[in-house]
Structure 1
């Protein structure tokens, strides 16, 4: 089974969306998808209500997800680790114990060659339209990532 981890800052906006979108597109017998945050602000909380709303509107239920922090053992437990932005990427890489760990970490938008800016914008301080934009961006890029698995 291939194990994939999506990581953003607080694990309530971007990575839960990426988790839910990717999970909805992959066979659960062959793939396990999870998400985490590089900060521990929201541990144990559900995704942001706006993330849940835009996912629900697309037929994806992320309401059972709970925020958790990225931990070093995630390098052992996952085959691919996708960071939502460069800050998250650097935070994860600081925890890498060796080259094997580091090889697992990628920027999520590196898979999307049409995007010059490789940072998925954080919609937290925005409105629902920001969450819809992030959903569409993640959804488009998830298809590209799946082709590369």
Structure 2
């Protein structure tokens, strides 16, 4: 197998753990790469190069899959299953529901739903980006190395 395919395979592997420090760095890089891909795709489309723009834009879903795998590893570091990731995807998908049609007839329901979505999203961000992983080994493996620090966390 080529090194590029091996590296891509490791990137989409959701097994194991990733530290909060490494995940924050990865998230910032993924956001910057995504913004760069989106800008390049729009620029190419504006120049009339639609096929290259579509090829570049195809990198966005690939980046999304890699980000989902990294988030699953981050949840494992917190000793949570990747099922919480599916709950987050569901909450995000609910944001595309036509809630404005219900706003006039059921305003309390819409407000409660939006507050629940906001609360769950805030919890998820705190859980994945801000909290440290569980100390020592858990059911998902040994503690993650703190990327850039070169040492395992204290147990």
Normalized against structure 1, the TM-score is what? 0.28
**Higher normalized helix content (fraction of residues):** 2
More contact order relative to length (CA 8 Å, sep ≥ 6) = 2
Normalized against structure 2, the TM-score is what? 0.27
Which of the two has higher C-alpha Rg?
2
